[in-house]
Copies of this chain bind each other. A is one copy, B any other.
């Protein structure tokens, strides 16, 4: 049965350490000592959907400053997933943006140069699952805003969004 899910935000603030521990590291003690709840939340579900990637991850994001989502993307890159990121140049320069860290880690990033915003907020996992909605990937939005994120295993939508990604990727080619 193809996946068809929606996450609403604000997300409960939960501990996501167990999800973000690098594979190969020995698993920590069964009980994490931190004081946050260790249940599922909209953020943990979003992280799980991303961390399921095995081959490729396309990100097309207006704003990306969430440390947890940044760590998830770096983990995938370390695991050999081909990660490509498109972002908006105005937001990229802001304090707290994850984009500089992703680039430093060797992840390919392209951004616009024009006046309009690159306002998409979508991800494509393994060319099979589309993740899209109103949520910018910032802690402010995750914890405080009313937002939605659809997670859809839908070949027709994936195809259309992948085409949009490739169009923008080529257009933002700096060379």
Contacts and interface: CB of A to CB of B under 8 A. Distances in A.
Interface of A: 4, 6, 8, 10, 62, 112, 115-122, 132-135, 140-141, 143-148, 150, 154, 156-157, 160-161, 164, 168
A172 to B, nearest CB: 10
B4 A157 contact: yes
A160 B6 contact: yes
16 contacts: A6-B157, A6-B161, A8-B164, A10-B116, A112-B146, A115-B144, A116-B140, A117-B144, A118-B146, A119-B134, A119-B141, A120-B146, A120-B148, A132-B134, A133-B134, A150-B157
A145 B161 contact: no
Nearest to A8: B164
A3 to B, nearest CB: 12
B168 A148 contact: no
A116 B138 CA distance: 12
